[in-house]
Amino acid sequence: MTKRYMLFYKPYDVLTQFSDRDPGGTKRRTLKDYIPVADVYPVGRLDRDSEGLLLLTNDGLLQHKLSDPKYQHERTYWVQVERIPDDAALNQLRIGVDIQDYRTRPAKVHLLPEDPQLPPRDPPIRFRKNVPTAWLEITLTEGRNRQVRRMTAAVGFPTLRLVRVTLAHLRLKGLEPGQWRDLTSTELKQLLSLCRL
């Protein structure tokens, strides 16, 4: 079997799976609506209400090494939050936040000086005239379920929009929502080297 390595810009309101198991019978968009390639699977997940970079492959060992938290591969997110976080909140995110039954690992966090250049979200986030928003760049080495949203909520600044922009050295740049492409030979070589494959 030929190994495939693909990048996909997951749009908002798309499930990170190829089949829809909604017991209510409501049709939800899945990866199958965008990717006509058989037998590839996502490395990690993005929630239905999150957007951005997703790596898909049929290379099980690489998938394991990128998904397992013990390997600590970086993932970077642009996160739009309600209100403007103060230094105390940013520092708390950096050192770790208690969420449910665990404490998050230290993260790289900074306030973006201006809104990032992203395609508009469909539907747009709720707009509240009297509540400003800010964009953070957050880099994690773990990816627990809804972790970024839980982190920003824990310090008092709920997430409005969440876009993953990097996974290790792979970048979202050059793709529009719903588009995919194969990794370049340089990207693949770096990825295999990173995972010691």
Cβ neighbours of residue 33 closer than 8 Å, sequence gap 6 or more:
14
Q: Are 164 and 171 in contact (CB under 8 A)?
A: no
CB 164 within 8 Å of CB 143: no
Find out whether 42 and 56 touch, Cβ atoms under 8 Å: yes
CA R_g for the chain: 17
CA 34 to chain centre: 18
Pairwise CA distance, residues 11 & 48, whole Å:
9
Using CA atoms, how far residue 166 sits from 8, 99, 138, in Å, is: 12, 24, 11
To the query of whether residue 47 is one of the catalytic residues in this protein, the response is yes
On whether the CB atoms of residues 110 and 90 are closer than 8 A, the answer is: yes
Instruction: Name the catalytic one among 33, 47, 59, 122.
Output: 47
Strand locations in 28-74 (E):
41-42, 51-57
The residues that are catalytic are: 47
